[in-house]
Structure 1
Amino acid sequence: MEPLLLGAVIAAAGGFAFLNGFHDVSNSVAAAVRTRALTPTVAVLLAALFNLVGALLGTSLTLLFIDAAGGLPSGATGLAILLTALVAACGWGILTWYRGTPSSSTHALLGGVIGAGVASRFTDHRSMEGANEALLLQIVLPLMLSPIIAYLVAYAAVFPSTWLLRHGSPARVNSGNRIAQSVLTGVFALGHGIQDGQRTTAVVLLALVGAGYASGSGTPMWVQVFAALLLASGAMFGGWRITHTLGHRLVQIDPMRGTVAQGIGSAMLLIGAVLLHVPLSSTHAMTSAIVGAGANEPFASVRRPRVARILLSWLVTAPATALLGAVLFLALSPLV
């Protein structure tokens, strides 16, 4: 049974990586496409390329997830927890894409893992132990704080940006900011690849360790390549429903504020991955930065009902996938 479950987990992890790229490419391209810094086709190709490169760089976040999930049972039970968590996260990703709602794939995956882990307590299988503190301090807390930080920093960054560009003509300022946005599209996609590519890598490595095919002390290169290719492939197809939401339905944004939003989002992802070694949601960082930068203008046009619905979806992401993960695990448990 274990080899079959291992194959199912790897296949589901590939689907999760593809949906992650498909769902989250909008975070990289929305502002640039909205301000006409890049055409949609060029923006998506650029994002896919840098997602691929980013996912091949570094393993520090992979090891962080491995340590945080140290209480995951070995054998068939652990593989079942990972499989049901991945299916729950993929289901939530498809639902939020269909509704055009930006949401965090990382929150969805964590919710699924926690829900399936709790469900394992109500069966004869071993449950997850000892991971609660690590999950809270190293993973959940940074993910919860990042939207607040992104909004406040983006809002504040508009002031010095406006002051520095105060003597430039509108045409020159907009042209320069569009060039900057073109560069930042690739930078943000690189950060997304570094951050989210390692989620899939960690899940596959956990499955291999649980099935006894790896030690967990190092990451096989094929696992990174597997995650990188599927993440980039998903980005190539582009989730345009969410791109339209970020670019048009939240706030009116000009090239200067688009540059601010992309710069803050990119900096957060790269600092989190390279310097602080903490996971951050690209969706939360970019969405919050766009709203923060757009809110700081004389005639701010933030569409509050739409923003409120997105915030509500963020709040229910983890509970919803936890419930779904628990139900799926209970359904699968007789076969494990």
Structure 2
Amino acid sequence: MDTFALIVTIGVALGFTYTNGFHDSANAIATSVSTRALTPRAALAMAAVMNLAGAFLGSGVAHTVSKGLIETPEGSKGMGILFAALIGAIVWNLVTWYFGLPSSSSHALFGGMVGAALAGGTEVIWSGVLDKVVIPMFLSPVVGLVAGYLVMCAIMWIFRRANPHKAKRGFRIAQTVSAAGMALGHGLQDAQKTMGIVVMALVIGDVQGADDPIPVWVKIACALMLSLGTYAGGWRIMRTLGRKIIELDPPQGFAAETTGASIMFVTAFIFKAPISTTHVITSAIMGVGATKRVNAVRWGVAKNIVLGWFITMPAAGLVAACSFWIVNLAFL
């Protein structure tokens, strides 16, 4: 039963990674597709490859997820907690994908972990949740908004005397690089989050120790599932990011992607904080758009997106808690 539970939990974790891929693929490519720098299929293929590469760049975020948010639960109850946390995250991903709302898969996972841990009587490391999740959740969009605005202002000043048509053509080409950077950062951040969950499952199943390195097969499996999900595409969310917030041109798309990618690399390598790629790129798009004029940004759409950010963790946590109670009644 323990081996079966371990296999099922790892399978559900990889399923979550797949939903993360198609849910968040828009983060990396929506701006490039909306400015016609890349065709949708070419953008998705590029994003899938870069997600795969990004997953192997580090392990700091994975260790934060596996050790820094909840105490590692033990036995069959512990496996049930992980299973319920993943179900909560997957359900929220599917709901927000259906409505085209670019919510955070990361915070759905963290909310699921906290909700399932509370329901299962496992200790939540609130200091870790505050430092690694809550503070970055509020800080990263502010940084993305301000940095996006400043980067776009710098671009406008540097190219103020350039021929507009030539500049747009050049930035359309440059967007292939900035979009690749976004996808690389997405792989670096989001594949590692699932790696952390799989490592927790392996520790609970007594397959490896808590301080052992992440097995290579775990990295490969998580990276592949994220890439497959990315290639499946997230067209509903892509429309929201690429067109509903603001109509982007190539310089704006380049500025937003460069800002988002830079923030993700800094937080992953320096702070080892699992930030939301969705929060960063969405706020960067808003900041970039505000340089045109403040009312160029469709703030009504932006308000709905931000509202979705705030309800993601509690909503996923509630689903996860209900899932744990069902699993507990049925199997534990």
TM range (shorter): over 0.9
Partner Cα separation in structure 1 for residue 306 and residue 200 of structure 2? 31
In the alignment, the residues of structure 1 paired with residue 48 and residue 94 of structure 2 have an alpha-carbon distance, to the nearest angstrom, of 19
Task: Report the secondary structure of 1:78's partner residue.
Answer: helix
Q: 2:126 is aligned with what amino acid?
A: N
Farther off after superposition, 90-99 or 70-79? 70-79
Q: Cα offset for 1:19?
A: 0.6
1:109 to partner: Cα distance = 0.7
Deviation at 1:6, TM superposition (A): 1.0
- Give, in angstroms, the shift of residue 56 of structure 1: 2.0
Q: Deviations over 1:253-290 (max 9, x none)?
A: 21111111001000001111122221111100001101
Q: 2:290 aligns with which of 281, 287, 295?
A: 295
Residue type matched to 2:178 in 1?
Answer: L
Q: How does 1:224-263 map to 2 (within 5 A)?
A: 224-263=219-258
The letter for the 2-side match of 1:91 is: V
The 5 A counterparts of 1:69-80 are 69=69, 71-80=71-80
- Whether 1:151 aligns to 2:145 is yes
CA spacing shift, 1:240–1:130, aligned 2, 3 Å: closer
The structure 1 residue matched to 2:181, chosen from 184, 187, 212, is: 187
Give the secondary-structure state (helix, strand or coil) at the position aligned to 1:251: coil
Deviation of 1:138 after TM superposition, in Å, equals 2.4
Runs of 4+ residues over 6 Å off in structure 1: none
Aligned-residue offset at 1:300: 4.1
In the alignment, what sits opposite 1:93?
93
| Cα distance in 2 for residues equivalent to 1:294 and 1:128 | 44
Residues 309-318 or 71-80, more deviating: 71-80
Q: Is the Cα contact below 8 Å between 2:70 and 2:114 reproduced in 1?
A: no
- Distance apart, 1:219 and its partner CA: 0.6
In the alignment, which residue of structure 2 is the partner of 1:39? 39
Q: 2:263 aligns with which of 237, 246, 268?
A: 268
Cα 1:298–1:327, aligned 2, differ >3 Å: closer, same or farther?
A: closer
Aligned residue type for 2:309: W
The separation in 2 between residues aligned to 1:46 and 1:52, in whole angstroms, is 10
Indicate yes or no: 2:293 matched with 1:331. no
Other-structure match for 1:164: 158
Deviations for 1:219-261, whole angstroms, at most 9, x for unmatched residues?
Answer: 1100000100000000111101111111111112211111110
1 CA distance for matches of 2:140 and 2:198? 26
Q: CA deviation at 1:149?
A: 1.0
Residues in 1 aligned to 2:216 and 2:293: alpha-carbon distance in whole angstroms:
51
Residue pair 1:143, 1:279 contacting (<8 A) in 2 also: no
CA distance in 2 between partners of 1:315 and 1:133 (Å): 19
Q: Is 1:213 the counterpart of 2:207 in the alignment?
A: yes
Structure 1 letter corresponding to 2:15: G
- CA–CA separation in structure 1 for the residues paired with 2:27 and 2:77: 35
Using the alignment, how far apart are the partners of 2:66 and 2:243 within structure 1?
A: 38
Name the amino acid aligned to 1:240: W
Indicate the residue corresponding to 2:192 in structure 1.
198
Structure 1 residue identity aligned to 2:74: S
- 1: CA distance, partners of 2:13 / 2:60: 19
Q: In structure 1, what is the equivalent of residue 106 of structure 2?
A: 106
- Kept in 2, the 8 Å contact 1:251–1:295? The answer is no
- When the two structures are aligned, how many residues end up with a matched partner? 330
| TM score, norm. by length of structure 2 | 0.96
CA shift in 2, pair 1:70/1:94, >3 Å: closer
Alpha-carbon offset, residue 299 of structure 1: 7.1
Native 8 Å contact 1:153 1:264 kept in 2: yes
Stretches of structure 1 that go unaligned for 5 or more consecutive residues are: 121-126
In the TM superposition, what whole-angstrom CA distance separates every residue of 1:190-219 from its partner, at most 9, and x where no partner exists?
A: 010010000110000000001111112211
Identity %: 38
TM-score (normalizing by structure 1):
0.95
